[in-house]
Structure 1
Amino acid sequence: MDIDAFVTAHQPTWNRLERLVRRRRELNGAEIDELVDLYQRVATHLSIVRSASRDPMLIGRLSALVARARATVTGAHAPAWREFVKFWTVSFPVVVYQTRRWWLWTAVAFAVVSVLFGAWVAGNPEVRAAIGTPEEIRQLVEHDFADYYRENPAGSFATHVWLNNAWVAAQCIASAVLMGLPIPWILYSNAANVGVSGGLMIDAGRGDVFFGLITPHGLLELTAVLLAAAAGMRVGWAVVAPGHRPRGQVLAEQGRAVMTVVVGLIVVLLVAGLIEGLVTPSPLPTWARIGIGVLAEAAFLGYVLVFGRRAALAGETGDIENAPDYAPAS
């Protein structure tokens, strides 16, 4: 291709687009339509030039012109700080609020399984004998359970806890691709572990130690894990019962909602990890440690209720604006 002839033929088009971009705030309707048309044509010209010429000046000029025209056509993006504020005041809380029914029933099921296991272990010597020898159980209830929170430096322990909790939540989120089917087993296993530990501690007369150590961080930690599980199962249910809308559209919406939950839970689990690493093993009185955990839980639930309900009433869904539910294919 003769690049000089190509430039001569299309130079007026490029100049016209450049003038329209400079006058973008003064354009009338016909000129806006012309701007869009010229932007598409010049983008094609740029593609042709890139494949047929190695002139860096020409490629650079057309690239800059196309970029400026694209910004004019699509409009400026909101500043990053606005996106950040919107995420924490609209997107995350409204998705959590919309998941509340799944979240509530998941929490109830977890609590029931934990209590049943705890009562079963505390009330049956045969079950305790199957778990371990009397010496092993005595070591657990008198030393190991409490030492777990105190044997490592607070900072490294908080990081370890955060990563461990994030791993459990990630398992629940990842299970969404399997229609959420593994999630009940994951929750059952964790609920059984909590129930068994509680049953052993209560039977040994150390129920106050158990609740004094597990409550400060456990409330927020379990809330976050149960939220991840609820979000994952909600995606699975969207595959089974999409309602009157296309299954692909509903699945796309729920998938994006899960990713919103993932980002939000990173911070929630970080807070829970800091409480477990810094507050739970601290020398504060038990009532103070439990009070901090209750305040953290109340603050999170209040945050979701206030911001999530407000966003839901305003018609927000937390979904990406104008997000395509189907990818075009040729």
Structure 2
Amino acid sequence: MDLDAYVAEHNAEWLRLDELSRRRKLNAAEADELVALYQRAATHLSLIRSRSPDPILVARLSRLVLAARNALTGAPSFSLATVGRFFTHTFPLAAYRAWPWWCGVATAFSLFTFGLMAYIAANPEVAGYFLTDDQIQDLVNSQFEDYYSQYLPQNQFLRVWTHNAMLTGEVLASGVIFFPVVYLLFQNALNTGLIGGVMIAYGRGDVFFGLIIPHGLLELTAVFVGAGVGLRIGWSWVAPGPLRTRGRALAETAMEGMLIALGLVAVLLVSGLLEGFVTPAPLPNIIKDFIGFLVWCAFLAYVFVLGRRAQLEGATTGIEGEVPQEALPTA
């Protein structure tokens, strides 16, 4: 396809489509013209995507097609029903579809972390390669425990919520090139295993698990979901399947990933509340751990029960009102 010639041939139609899409009122003839130009622009977009996917031109035509569709159908309005459906169908379904990925990440992370924790607990001198004696004593005697009470609960909640949301966003977005996810997970597993091993070696294992379990189960699971989804996005362009192009596979999987990222913001809000208000609370550790365990189990049940139900019902993760790629005219 000669892209320059194609643009020169159809540019006047695209400009006319843009003009009609911006008008607030159209007469009958102009409305018919808008429909015809919209259909033709959608065809042009499909052809360019499949034969000569110039990113700038694809972006321009995508904007034109979306603007024309909104002019024809009206922009979608806010609806509580749509929000409710997101949390009862869309998010759990998207997370359920990706469960082999994030469960695999959780398994690898846990094996490495607990293995390192056990090794350092049995060989405390190894911690000396990472921390000085003063740092170890400070960590064991006060630093780890004081971390969860050094800020007011509401400040600690907002602090960890934004931090964990950033970390989860990083592992999800960087999954497309694989290696940053592995590095970020390794770094966090190393820190957790090292601190846990030191605390256990010096007889403070009860403090470590008593303070990390209430929020850590849900918090780490959210990070695992983000990392697993990120790796799934990356794998989509490596192995797109027999019926999809690499670009289409990446776009579809990334769209699901963005929906999961949106849902994880709410999940991390809950874990932030636990860390801000439950972890430092003057309650026995067993009670705080039980609260964290119940919330974690509730999240897993939410994903696997509602996600599986949505899949059996034939629900999709598409945005309401979106025109699927296969529905666009191609000739």
TM-score, normalised with respect to structure 2: 0.76
Q: Name the counterpart of 1:46.
A: none
Q: Name the counterpart of 2:5.
A: none
Q: Name the counterpart of 1:277.
A: 276
Distance 1:228 1:307 in 2: 19
Is the contact between residue 35 and residue 72 of structure 2 (CA under 8 Å) also seen in structure 1? Answer: no
| Residue 286 of structure 1, CA deviation | 1.0
Distance 2:104 2:175 in 1: 17
Is the contact between residue 216 and residue 289 of structure 1 (CA under 8 Å) also seen in structure 2? Answer: yes
Note if 1:263 corresponds to 2:254: no
Q: Name the counterpart of 2:58.
A: none
Structure 1 residues 325 and 266, CA gap change in structure 2 (3 angstroms): farther
| Residue 176 of structure 1, CA deviation | 3.1
1:23-38 superposed matches below 5 A: 37=32
Structure 1 residues 38 and 279, CA gap change in structure 2 (3 angstroms): same
Distance 1:252 1:327 in 2: 16
Distance 1:99 1:127 in 2: 37
Q: Please identify, of 273-282 and 82-91, the stretch whose mean Cα deviation from structure 2 is larger.
A: 82-91
Aligned residues: 274
Give CA-to-partner distance per residue, 1:232-258, whole Å, 9 cap, x none: 000000011111122122111101011
Structure 1 residues 290 and 73, CA gap change in structure 2 (3 angstroms): same
Structure 1 residues 75 and 207, CA gap change in structure 2 (3 angstroms): same
191, 194, 197: which is aligned to 1:193?
A: 191
Distance 1:283 1:265 in 2: 28
Q: Name the counterpart of 1:304.
A: 303
| Residue 112 of structure 1, CA deviation | 0.6
SS at match of 1:147: helix
| Residue 77 of structure 1, CA deviation | 4.5
| Residue 315 of structure 1, CA deviation | 2.0
Q: Name the counterpart of 2:73.
A: 74
1:203-282 superposed matches below 5 A: 203-244=201-242, 245-282=244-281
Q: Name the counterpart of 1:166.
A: 165
| Residue 71 of structure 1, CA deviation | 7.9
Q: Name the counterpart of 2:293.
A: 294
Give CA-to-partner distance per residue, 1:158-184, whole Å, 9 cap, x none: 11111111111111122034x333111
Give CA-to-partner distance per residue, 1:247-286, whole Å, 9 cap, x none: 1221111010111011101111111011001000000111
Distance 1:250 1:235 in 2: 9
Note if 1:116 corresponds to 2:121: no
Distance 2:26 2:179 in 1: 59
Question: Where do 5+ consecutive residues of structure 1 fail to align?
Answer: 1-13, 18-33, 44-68
Give CA-to-partner distance per residue, 1:102-141, whole Å, 9 cap, x none: 0111000000110121122112243122233333212111
Q: Please say which structure displays the higher CA radius of gyration.
A: 1
Q: Name the counterpart of 2:315.
A: 316
SS at match of 1:152: coil
Is the contact between residue 102 and residue 231 of structure 1 (CA under 8 Å) also seen in structure 2? Answer: yes
Question: Where do 5+ consecutive residues of structure 2 fail to align?
Answer: 1-24, 39-67
Distance 1:315 1:199 in 2: 46
Q: Name the counterpart of 2:84.
A: 85
TM-score, normalised with respect to structure 1: 0.76
SS at match of 2:325: coil
SS at match of 1:302: helix
Distance 1:260 1:192 in 2: 29
Q: Which runs of 4+ in 1 moved over 6 A?
A: 69-72, 325-328
Structure 1 residues 208 and 71, CA gap change in structure 2 (3 angstroms): closer
Output the aligned Cα RMSD.
Answer: 2.9
